[in-house]
Amino acid sequence: ILLSRTTRCTCISISNRSVNPNSLEKLEVIPASQSCPRVEIIATMKKNGEKRCLNPESKMVNNILKALSKNG
Amino acid sequence: ILLSRTTRCTCISISNRSVNPNSLEKLEVIPASQSCPRVEIIATMKKNGEKRCLNPESKMVNNILKALSKNG
């Protein structure tokens, strides 16, 4: 008997809109796991707390991470 | 009158221990803001949910971010 694992990804859809690093409250990186087979990147916006899922393979995400690290 | 702003950083101390990307449940990146003047990187461990603050300027953090993005 194969037990099927329920997939529990947080992101249903991925936004391709650009995100200004300065407008971010936080960025969460959730590695691939047994509960979700793909990396998830969740941006929380300062203004309204809105959460947006971003494409981990986009250049934008790399740029955001670079920008955030430099602001320290 | 100068109103002093209370600093509310999440991290009190920063761990320099190395972290295996595979042992991470998630990684949070919190940009510098009015409530905390520095970038904060918070790693949540799979095993026990322990949270560790990492040094945003360390190579380790860059390596973790690279590793996580590739696992997708």
pLDDT tens by residue, A10-54: 998 998 888 888 899 999 999 988 888 889 999 999 999 999 999
What Cα–Cα distance (Å) separates residue B8 from each residue in A25, A48, B5, B12, B38?
14, 20, 9, 10, 11
Q: pLDDT band at residue A70, thresholds of 50, 70 and 90?
A: low
Residue B6 is assigned to a structural domain of this protein? no
Query: What residues form DSSP beta bridges with B27?
Result: A29, B43
Residue A13 is assigned to a structural domain of this protein? no
Residue A64 is assigned to a structural domain of this protein? yes
Residue A16 is assigned to a structural domain of this protein? no
Could you read off the pLDDT of A24-33 as tens digits, one per residue? 999 999 998 8
Residue A2 is assigned to a structural domain of this protein? no
Percent of chain B having pLDDT more than 70? 85
Q: How far apart are CA A37 and CA B7, in angstroms?
A: 38
For B32, the closest of A28, A39, A71 (CB atoms) is: A71
Q: Computed over its alpha carbons, how large is the radius of gyration of chain B?
A: 14
Residue B1 is assigned to a structural domain of this protein? no
Residue A27 is assigned to a structural domain of this protein? yes
Q: What is the residue range of A55's domain?
A: 21-70
Per DSSP, chain A holds a count of helices (H) and strands (E) of 1, 3
* Domain at A32, CATH number: 2.40.50.40
Q: Would you state the pLDDT for residue B30?
A: 93
Q: Would you state the pLDDT for residue B72?
A: 45
Length of chain B: 72
Q: pLDDT band at residue A1, thresholds of 50, 70 and 90?
A: low
| Cβ contact A68–B62 (<8 Å) | no
DSSP H/E element including A12: none
Q: How many domains, in total, are found in chain A?
A: 1
Query: What residues form DSSP beta bridges with A40?
Result: A30
Angle, vertex CA A29, rays to CA A71 and CA B51, nearest 5: 85
ipTM of the complex: 0.79
Report whether A47 contacts A23 (CB < 8 A).
yes
For B68, the closest of A25, A31, A68 (CB atoms) is: A31
Q: pLDDT band at residue B2, thresholds of 50, 70 and 90?
A: low
